[in-house]
């Protein structure tokens, strides 16, 4: 599935991933390929991205990579999943 992480300042990441785990307002949940369409608000926490990410050098300091997992801390945000495309808006 395709993931885009966007902040008010810039697009932080765009690329293919295997799965995504986010801190939803009603609890943490995972998004996989072919997931049903969903829109959710996000709370402060850590986003876990599975897949071999190629991060842009300008934004690399915002992410922590451990093997096939990449972590990204957020304060709040929103997520939309539709047609195997995830857009994660964060501040």
| Structural domains in the chain (count) | 1
Burial class (CB in 10 A: 0-12, 13-18, 19+), 81: buried
Nearest to 22 by CA among 9, 11, 34, 32: 32
| Closest to 77 (Cα-Cα) out of 87, 64, 91, 67 | 91
79: CATH: 2.60.15.10
Expressed as residue numbers, the domain containing 39 is 2-90
What are the per-10-residue average pLDDT scores of the chain (91 residues)?
95 95 95 94 97 87 92 96 96 84
| pTM listed for this prediction | 0.92
Q: How many CA atoms lie within 13 A of 71 on its CB side?
A: 8
């Amino acid at each position: 599935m395709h993931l885009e992480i966007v902040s008010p300042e810039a697009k932080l990441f765009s690329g293919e991933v295997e799965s995504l785990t986010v801190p939803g307002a009603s609890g943490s949940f995972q998004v996989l390929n072919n997931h049903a369409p969903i829109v959710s608000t996000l709370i402060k926490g850590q986003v876990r991205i599975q897949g071999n990410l190629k991060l842009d050098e300008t934004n690399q300091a915002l992410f922590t990579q451990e093997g096939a997992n990449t972590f990204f801390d957020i304060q709040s945000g929103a997520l939309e999943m539709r047609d195997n495309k995830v857009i994660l808006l964060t501040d």
